[in-house]
């Protein structure tokens, strides 16, 4: 029995740090920062989105969290997210996972899942 993906991501606290850094990376990424910087002015909304991201990642990796946010289409509907932006977000995620010492197989697994959601997020 191997360790679960949830454990390999560092459990609840590890995932919390990952989400904080991923959002920071998006805010610093010229390709997508305009989508995220407005949340600096809405700390409560930012906290809610981050909680949803933690729950989404926690539940999706086998943890006890329950995601009660919107579905992927509903969360991104009307944003008209393009392929370049999508790749930029994936680059941010990969960079943060690497920085946090998440192993290569786990990084590939996370990216594969993220990539599989493309049809629910791009230009919906």
Q: How far is the CB of 17 from ligand HEM (least distance, A)?
A: 17
Helices (H), 1-124: 5-8, 11-28, 33-36, 43-60, 72-76, 83-99, 104-116, 118-121
Q: Is 56 in the site for ligand HEM (CB under 6 A)?
A: yes
Nearest Cα neighbor of 105 from 10, 9, 20, 18 is 9
- CA 5/CA 8 separation, integer angstroms: 5
Q: How far is the CB of 20 from ligand HEM (least distance, A)?
A: 15
Tell me: is residue 76 an annotated ligand-binding position: yes
Tell me: is residue 17 an annotated ligand-binding position: no
Site for ligand HEM, residues 66 to 85, rule: CB under 6 A: 69-70, 75-76, 81, 85
Applying CB under 6 A, the site for ligand HEM has a residue count of 17
- CA 44/CA 50 separation, integer angstroms: 10
Please answer whether residues 32 and 89 qualify as being in contact, where contact means their C-beta atoms are separated by less than 8 angstroms.
Answer: yes
Q: Is 53 in the site for ligand HEM (CB under 6 A)?
A: yes
Q: How far is CA 43 from the centre of its chain?
A: 18
Q: How far is the CB of 24 from ligand HEM (least distance, A)?
A: 14
- Nearest CB to ligand HEM, comparing residues 52 and 100: 52
Q: Is 108 in the site for ligand HEM (CB under 6 A)?
A: no
Q: Which segments are annotated as binding site for heme?
A: 52, 76
């Amino acid at each position: 029995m191997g360790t679960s993906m949830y454990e390999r991501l560092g459990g609840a606290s590890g995932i919390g740090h990952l989400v904080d850094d991923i959002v920071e990376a998006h805010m610093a990424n010229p390709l997508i920062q305009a989508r995220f910087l407005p949340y600096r002015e809405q700390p409560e909304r930012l906290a809610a989105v981050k909680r949803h991201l933690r729950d989404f990642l926690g539940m999706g990796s086998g943890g006890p969290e329950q995601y009660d946010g919107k579905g992927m289409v509903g969360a991104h509907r009307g944003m008209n997210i393009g392929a370049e932006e999508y790749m930029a977000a994936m680059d941010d995620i990969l960079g943060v996972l690497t920085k946090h010492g998440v192993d290569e197989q786990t990084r590939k697994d996370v990216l594969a899942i993220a990539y599989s959601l493309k049809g629910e997020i791009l230009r919906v």
